[in-house]
Amino acid sequence: MQIKSKTKSKPKIAICESDHARLLALANAAEERFPEVAEELLIELERARIVADHSLPAKAVRIGSLVAFERENGARQTVTLVLPEDADISRGRVSILTPIGAALIGLSEGQAMQWTARDGTQHVLSVLSVSKEPDA
């Protein structure tokens, strides 16, 4: 499946002000080490609707969200979206500086998003549920 534009036909997303500021600084700092992922995160941040922290819908993915999603092949997965220093794939803690992490930020329950893995393959994920991590 080809995408004509990196932002064409992507779902609308919302990101709270505090996450937006943190992630913008993180993406800019990561541009030299991880240019592809940093670029994808910057694209998502640029197209996002920025809202006050208290106005972000509870079912929108933000840093610290526990997200259940389904891949295009029907496989389901639940992860917590975290900053890079808190990432631990064995515990289901996925960094925002991964292709799937950048794809998840700002999505809400019921939305689907196409994303490109590091190997260049295109995937689609559908968000099934979003909640706060139990210890957050």
Cα distance between residue 54 and residue 29, in whole Å: 27
pTM value > 0.85: yes
Closest CA to 96 of 124, 129, 71, 62: 62
| pLDDT (tens digit per residue) in 74-93 | 999 999 999 999 999 999 99
| pLDDT (tens digit per residue) in 22-67 | 999 999 999 999 898 899 999 999 999 999 999 999 999 999 999 9
Domains delineated in the chain: 14-132 (3.10.50.30)
Residue 133, class by beta-carbon neighbours within 10 Å (0-12 exposed, 13-18 middle, 19+ buried)? Answer: middle
Task: Give the per-residue pLDDT at 46.
Answer: 94
Cα distance between residue 99 and residue 73, in whole Å: 18
